[in-house]
Amino acid sequence: MKILVAIKRVIDANVKVRVNADNTGVETANVKMSMNPFCEIAVEEAIRLKEQGVASEVVAVCIGPQQAQETLRTALALGADKAVLVKSDEELESLAVAKVLKNIVEKEEPQMVLLGKQSIDSDNNQTGQMLGALLGWGQGTFASEVKVADGKAQVTREIDGGLETVELTMPAIVTTDLRLNEPRFASLPNIMKAKRKPLEELAVADLGVDIAPRTETLKVANPPARQEGIKVETVAELVDKLKNDAKVI
């Protein structure tokens, strides 16, 4: 079976993000960009399913600017067989991303689409579920374990109360949580090999998908700052402060 993995290029998780001067967004100049960490986990899971003989081909897709090529090359170096870049200089909303992915799914006909549970920039946590609804497929979101057998996928999900397992009829959507796996690093020979793997480029405008924005960002501001606290020297002092100043115990 073929697996499609959707990956997003985002500001690296280790960058201290700063709101820009005119409060329209965050500083992006000279900021390190990386593959969204949840997407790394999705790529890793797809590759493991291929190594287990469950999947036969892994296709990575990204909707983003020309530079997102680098992110796709990383996926290829990790073990994806083919990549598709849907070029868009504008950042698309999750609904538009889901519609574009649906278009790619119809072309590639995968049995499973793996996505991250959440982009760490927008913190939306929407795209996989939206794609599932648009395709009429079942979904296993926030996955910590994925097992595929007999045309079904068993997905264990991280939920607020603990863990839940669902069984999905294939084709299906899976979105990854942190504990699904630990992504590998790309080796140098694989990075070299990835340069020769196919990377198809499409322009989002050519797909005939409605990507018109539905929301406007009116303002991006710093969160309210916390008042500076104090250091206490002893446990007794701490207990005293909590009892008599803060009055929380």
Partner 1 sequence: MTTLVIAEHNNQQAQASTFSTIAAATQLSGDTVVLVAGHNCQAAAEQITKAQGVSKVLLADAEHYAHLLAEDLDRLVVAIAEDYTHILAPASTFGKNFMPRVAALLDVQQISEITAIDSDDVFERPVYAGNAIATVKSNDAKKVITVRATGFDAVAEEGGSAIIESIEAKEASAASSYVGAELTVSERPELTSARVIVSGGRGMGSGENFAMLEALADKLGAAVGASRAAVDAGFVPNDYQVGQTGKIVAPELYIAVGISGAIQHLAGMKDSKVIVAINKDEEAPIFQVADYGLVADLFKVIPELNDAL
Ligand X SMILES: Cc1cc2nc3c(=O)[nH]c(=O)nc-3n(C[C@H](O)[C@H](O)[C@H](O)COP(=O)(O)OP(=O)(O)OC[C@H]3O[C@@H](n4cnc5c(N)ncnc54)[C@H](O)[C@@H]3O)c2cc1C
Ligand Y SMILES: Nc1ncnc2c1ncn2[C@@H]1O[C@H](COP(=O)(O)O)[C@@H](O)[C@H]1O
Binding-site partner at residue 64 among partner 1, ligand Y, ligand X, none, CB < 5 to 8 Å by type: ligand Y
Binding-site partner at residue 133 among partner 1, ligand X, ligand Y, none, CB < 5 to 8 Å by type: partner 1
Torsion angle of alpha carbons 229, 231, 237, 241, nearest 10°?
A: 0
* Comparison of 6 and 209: residue with beta carbon closer to ligand Y: 6
Is the Cβ–Cβ distance between 163 and 144 less than 8 Å? Answer: yes
Distance, CA of 222 to chain centre: 24
* Comparison of 37 and 64: residue with beta carbon closer to ligand X: 37
* Comparison of 15 and 134: residue with beta carbon closer to ligand X: 15
Provide the residue type at 225 as one letter: A
Of 47-55, 71-79, 106-114, 212-220: span binding partner 1 (CB under 8 A): 212-220
Q: 3-class secondary structure for 173-200?
A: EEEECCCCCCCCCCCHHHHHHHCCCCEE
Q: How far is CA 249 from CA 120, 226, 229, 239, in A?
A: 35, 21, 18, 8
d(CA 247, CA 249) in angstroms, rounded, equals 6
Is the Cβ–Cβ distance between 62 and 8 less than 8 Å? Answer: yes
> 103: number of CA atoms within 13 Å, CB side?
22
For the CB of residue 102, give the shortest distance to ligand X in the complex, in Å: 26
Report the residue closest to ligand X, judged by CB: 37
* Comparison of 37 and 140: residue with beta carbon closer to ligand X: 37
Name residues contacting partner 1, limited to 67-86 (CB under 8 A).
none
d(CA 114, CA 60) in angstroms, rounded, equals 9
Q: Which residues bind ligand X (CB under 6 A)?
A: 13, 37, 120
Bridge partners, 83 (sequence order) = 60, 199
For the CB of residue 178, give the shortest distance to ligand Y in the complex, in Å: 12
Out of 17, 31, 192, 205, the only residue in the binding site for partner 1 (CB under 8 A) is 17
Binding-site partner at residue 7 among ligand X, partner 1, ligand Y, none, CB < 5 to 8 Å by type: ligand Y
Of 44-52, 118-126, 145-153, 237-245: span binding ligand Y (CB under 6 A): 118-126
Tokens of 36: 């969204």
Name residues contacting ligand Y, limited to 10-39 (CB under 6 A).
36, 38-39
* Comparison of 77 and 95: residue with beta carbon closer to partner 1: 95
Contact set with ligand Y (CB under 6 A): 6-8, 36, 38-39, 42, 61-64, 92, 94, 97, 115-116, 118-119, 122, 124-128
